[in-house]
Structure 1
Amino acid sequence: MKFISNIKPFFILAFAAIIVSSCATRDKYVRSTEFNDNIFRTDLLPKDSSTIAQISWKDFFTDPILQKHIAKGLENNLDVRIAVQNILVSEAFVKQSKAAYLPTLSAGPTYTLQTQSLNSSFGQIIGNRKFNDNFQFSGNMNWDIDVWGKLSAQERAQLASYLGTVEAHKSIKSELVANIASNYYQLLTLDEQKRIIQETIDLRNKNLETTKALKTAGNLTEVAVQQSEALVFNAKAMLVDLDTQIEILENSTCILLGIPSQKIERANSKTPQFPKDISIGYSSELLANRPDVKQAEFQLINAFQLTNAAKASFYPNFSLSATGGFQSGDFDKFFSANSLFANFVGSLIQPILNKRQIKTQYEVSLANKQIAYLNFRKTFLNAGQEVSNALKRYNSQDKFIEYKIQEKEAYKKSVDYSKELVNYGLANYLEVINASVNLLTAELNISNAQYTKMKANIDLYRALGGGWK
């Protein structure tokens, strides 16, 4: 009973410290109102909160071959797998921060053999060497009481860091899905352009034979023949360049899929099927779905809480420590009641001079908090810019394609008319060449414009936070 009554003040002190800790004033994170502004450059905001970002990638991309590629990429992509490991690391730190409230305990035996120097003052008095044995088995406990909320701030900082890694994982998945889809549709576009150029080569070969016949008939010169042949070589060179682009793009797609370089399976048609009635939602919905924006905000919360922890370092540190066990110079008496010993210490330490370390830590935490805020603001604005850019490209491409189709039809008529005029000797063959080159360029431009519209749709899906579900 006397033992318990002696340590009773320490438990009372610990309980009082916990009560003080619960009443301590701490800064709470509140998002700035400036992040509630609309950041889309459009007047077509809907009245509801629906958004294509809420659609699963399996429902957004309906091509079964593309779905298979995306599933493989999400499973094998190295960046995704690294992000998962980062989550596990962060999760371990969260568990550690939760355990920081508990005392540290250690226990173990100790044996000490001591003998004095015969040349020391004590040794000269005794006159002969003596050996002293000391056997000890002790347990040690140390408990830092979180009076000022330092440990709780560090726990919230670690939790924000963990949630940030989760959002980073989502962001990588969203980016990966968009990149795989963009590469896939670009491959379809290059296949279509390859078909256009192959048809152009066949047509120009026929024109070359016609030019040779007209030269034999005396209607054209060798110059026209060489120009026609040059057009064939030009188209064949474009075909070689397209094959190179296709293989390089397939190789880069294989990196996304986490597989060795190989041919990428794809559909025969490049016409994609996307959900209709696209709705973009408000900026609050953008924040609710964009993983990189949420990640940036969690990084800000992490820096905010670390500032709270650094601020708490200015206040006194209260801790309880205890040591107890068995100690004896004679092993035969080691387990007797007289060998028991105990030591309890309650300390309240106020830092006074510590080479400016605490103040430097606090100033650095303030600067890091400002950096995190600016990065959050930058990410937020970039998100709005990406949505605005994708919207503009998506909405303007239909009119652009319409004009390009009209341009192609005009060049096609120009080729037919110029050939007819050359046959009657009313035009120079150079006009046929120019019209033919312009026709091919117009056809390729239409193909590129159609891909631009597809990519704008994919970019809008990713910019609004879609792709990770």
Structure 2
Amino acid sequence: MYKRNQYKIWGFALLYMAYSSCKIPAIVQKNENKSTPNTYANSGSDTTNLAAIKWKDYFKDQYLTNLIDTALQNNQELNITLQEIEIARSEVRARKGELLPSVGIRAGAGLEKVGRYTSQGAGDATTEIEPGKEMPDPVPDFMAGLYANWEVDVWHKLRNAKKAAYTRYLSSVEGKNFVVTNLVAEIANSYYELLALDNQLAMVRKNIALQSNALEVVKLQKEAARVTELAVRKFEAEVLSSKSLEYQIAQQITETENKINFLLGRYPQHIARNVNSFDSVADQFPVGIPSQLLANRPDIKQAELDLIASKLDVKAAKAQFYPSFGITGALGFQAFNPSYLVKFPESMLYSIAGDIAAPLINKNAIKASYFAANAKQTQAVYQYERTILNAYIEVANQMASIGNLKKTYDLKDKQVQALNQSINISNDLFKSARADYLEVLMTQRDALEAKLELIETKKQQLNAMVKIYQALGGGWN
């Protein structure tokens, strides 16, 4: 009767545990939207894509590719990211280890003195280990053995945690690829900025030479009483202004070189470059179709993997509501005298036990973990969709920028040609006293500004060439 009641109690306990574990709070999960437009604006359905070109083939300048090669070896941010990959790989190993039994070795020694008038003390006093040899008092204790415990992963809690860790490892790899893409683009943009500054510096120095010649002419005219001292001072001030601009550009060149050196992980030194690369702007930029972004852009693939990992986290958190099953065991030898440890099987000890545990009351911590995991999963969905949208907009912006910059450059080029002609005309008119010196100065100033803007527009074209390649997902391969 007693055993029957005991079985009933255990049965009711197991049923209540099963019921309480199955009663899981309901949540609303959000599914991601992977759809993209079929084509980009003003583009066809050609699948030829810049992103398929390796960066060594995309950038033709050998000096630039050498810089990128050095950066991929020495850049500190990239090396920090590589260590994050190692951290993620170690997490995978840790999660994989949780699936296996935990086995350890244990050894110890102790001394115990119990009261004579206790059950244990009385028993020890009347016990003979061997004829005529009583138990020692106090009793030493020596033990050596193996112990193990294992959680049986019935609900795939540990498996899902391991899959989540592995997915995050893959995500860290894509994160590294994204860092590489940005690094390649940043070096290329800085390199073209350096070439632009070189051209601007050469233009300013050429302009200083022209202004200096004009200043000498004005000085001669002043001696001939054709102009006043005011004209001389105005021309002199313009020369000084251009010389000041020369030093400003020289400082920008130094800072840009040092920026590149920093990206390369080295101390300041001269950056070798090919000045002829400044005029090499590609005419065609095949962008493919928007759906290719999902496969080409590392940040999109990283966001997708983070989303998969967050879904696995929800499953692992959900399994916390279910009963857990564990098995523990031990095997070894124990005796009060080290010489008895080798006596088999008298000194042998072993144990094996199984247990089941499930949360019954006050499951707030488990619920909180479950709701937090779901919130992170929803957050990952929005982040994934946001990354896709951002990638599409980046490509669309750069496509528009390439077209508009080409038109801007053509107009700026015509403006420079017109102002160059204006300089010659104003000089001739000034020499014949048919134009004021201020007109000459303003024409020279406008021409210099237009030439500098033309160089800046060319730099923006080169930057757009880099950015469209980056936006499409090129640069990491």
Q: So what's the TM-score if we normalise by structure 2?
A: 0.86
Q: 2:106 touches 2:147 (CA, 8 Å); kept in 1?
A: no
Structure 2 counterpart SS, 1:219 = coil
CA distance in 1, matches of 2:318, 2:159: 13
Q: By how many angstroms is 1:274 displaced?
A: 6.1
Structure 1 equivalent of residue 58 of structure 2: 60
Structure 1 equivalent of residue 470 of structure 2: 462
Query: Which moved further from structure 2: 69-78 or 330-339?
Result: 330-339
Give the 5 Å matches for 1:346-425: 346-354=354-362, 356-425=364-433
Could you give the per-residue CA deviations for residues 359-382 of structure 1, whole angstroms, max 9, x where no partner exists? 111111112212222222222222
Q: By how many angstroms is 1:96 displaced?
A: 2.1
- Asked if 1:282 is matched to 2:292, the reply is no
Q: 1:327 touches 1:334 (CA, 8 Å); kept in 2?
A: yes
Structure 1 counterpart SS, 2:321 = coil
Structure 2 equivalent of residue 317 of structure 1: 324
CA distance in 2, matches of 1:307, 1:154: 10
CA distance in 1, matches of 2:251, 2:174: 37
2:101 is aligned, of 97, 103, 116, to: 103
Structure 2 equivalent of residue 166 of structure 1: 173
Structure 1 equivalent of residue 133 of structure 2: none
2:278 is aligned, of 271, 280, 285, to: 271
CA distance in 1, matches of 2:162, 2:391: 29
Query: Which moved further from structure 2: 103-112 or 76-85?
Result: 103-112
- Asked if 1:47 is matched to 2:54, the reply is no
- Asked if 1:244 is matched to 2:246, the reply is no
Structure 2 equivalent of residue 207 of structure 1: 214
Structure 2 counterpart SS, 1:304 = helix
- Asked if 1:448 is matched to 2:459, the reply is no
Q: 1:98 touches 1:155 (CA, 8 Å); kept in 2?
A: yes
Could you give the per-residue CA deviations for residues 366-418 of structure 1, whole angstroms, max 9, x where no partner exists? 12212222222222222122212211111221111110011112222222222
CA distance in 1, matches of 2:288, 2:348: 72
Structure 2 counterpart SS, 1:47 = coil
Q: 2:92 touches 2:166 (CA, 8 Å); kept in 1?
A: yes
| Structural RMSD (CA) | 2.5
2:149 is aligned, of 142, 147, 151, to: 142
Structure 2 counterpart SS, 1:465 = coil
Aligned pair in 2 of structure 1 residues 214, 117: CA closer, same or farther (>3 Å)? Answer: farther
2:85 is aligned, of 82, 87, 98, to: 87
- Asked if 1:222 is matched to 2:221, the reply is no
- Asked if 1:180 is matched to 2:187, the reply is yes
Structure 2 counterpart SS, 1:36 = coil
Q: 1:46 touches 1:279 (CA, 8 Å); kept in 2?
A: no
Structure 2 counterpart SS, 1:179 = helix
Q: By how many angstroms is 1:123 displaced?
A: 7.8
2:110 is aligned, of 104, 107, 112, to: 112
- Asked if 1:78 is matched to 2:76, the reply is yes
Q: 2:294 touches 2:300 (CA, 8 Å); kept in 1?
A: yes
Code of the aligned partner of 1:35: K
CA distance in 2, matches of 1:43, 1:210: 55
Code of the aligned partner of 1:182: N
CA distance in 2, matches of 1:247, 1:45: 44
CA distance in 1, matches of 2:279, 2:414: 23
Code of the aligned partner of 2:418: A
5+ unaligned residues in a row in structure 2: which ranges? 1-26, 126-135
1:430 is aligned, of 425, 435, 438, to: 438
Aligned pair in 2 of structure 1 residues 381, 453: CA closer, same or farther (>3 Å)? Answer: same
Q: 1:393 touches 1:452 (CA, 8 Å); kept in 2?
A: no
Structure 1 counterpart SS, 2:86 = helix
Query: Which moved further from structure 2: 318-327 or 244-253?
Result: 318-327
Give the 5 Å matches for 1:336-347: 336-347=344-355
Q: By how many angstroms is 1:273 displaced?
A: 4.3
Aligned pair in 2 of structure 1 residues 274, 194: CA closer, same or farther (>3 Å)? Answer: closer
Code of the aligned partner of 2:166: L
CA distance in 1, matches of 2:203, 2:408: 20
Q: 2:281 touches 2:461 (CA, 8 Å); kept in 1?
A: no
Structure 2 counterpart SS, 1:142 = strand
Could you give the per-residue CA deviations for residues 159-211 of structure 1, whole angstroms, max 9, x where no partner exists? 11101110111111111111111111111111011111111000001111111
Code of the aligned partner of 1:288: A
Aligned pair in 2 of structure 1 residues 39, 459: CA closer, same or farther (>3 Å)? Answer: farther
CA distance in 2, matches of 1:459, 1:361: 41
CA distance in 2, matches of 1:320, 1:174: 49
CA distance in 2, matches of 1:31, 1:298: 14
Code of the aligned partner of 1:187: L
Q: So what's the TM-score if we normalise by structure 1?
A: 0.88
CA distance in 1, matches of 2:283, 2:412: 24
Q: By how many angstroms is 1:299 displaced?
A: 1.6
Aligned pair in 2 of structure 1 residues 342, 354: CA closer, same or farther (>3 Å)? Answer: farther
Aligned pair in 2 of structure 1 residues 342, 368: CA closer, same or farther (>3 Å)? Answer: same
Q: 1:173 touches 1:468 (CA, 8 Å); kept in 2?
A: yes
CA distance in 2, matches of 1:325, 1:427: 110
Q: 1:61 touches 1:273 (CA, 8 Å); kept in 2?
A: no
Q: How many residues align?
A: 439
CA distance in 2, matches of 1:209, 1:120: 120
Structure 1 equivalent of residue 239 of structure 2: 232
Q: By how many angstroms is 1:120 displaced?
A: 9.0
CA distance in 1, matches of 2:390, 2:155: 38
1:255 is aligned, of 244, 255, 262, to: 262
Code of the aligned partner of 1:96: A
Could you give the per-residue CA deviations for residues 399-453 of structure 1, whole angstroms, max 9, x where no partner exists? 1111001111222222222233333333322111111110001101110000100
Structure 1 equivalent of residue 312 of structure 2: 305
Identity of aligned residues (%): 31
Structure 2 equivalent of residue 24 of structure 1: none
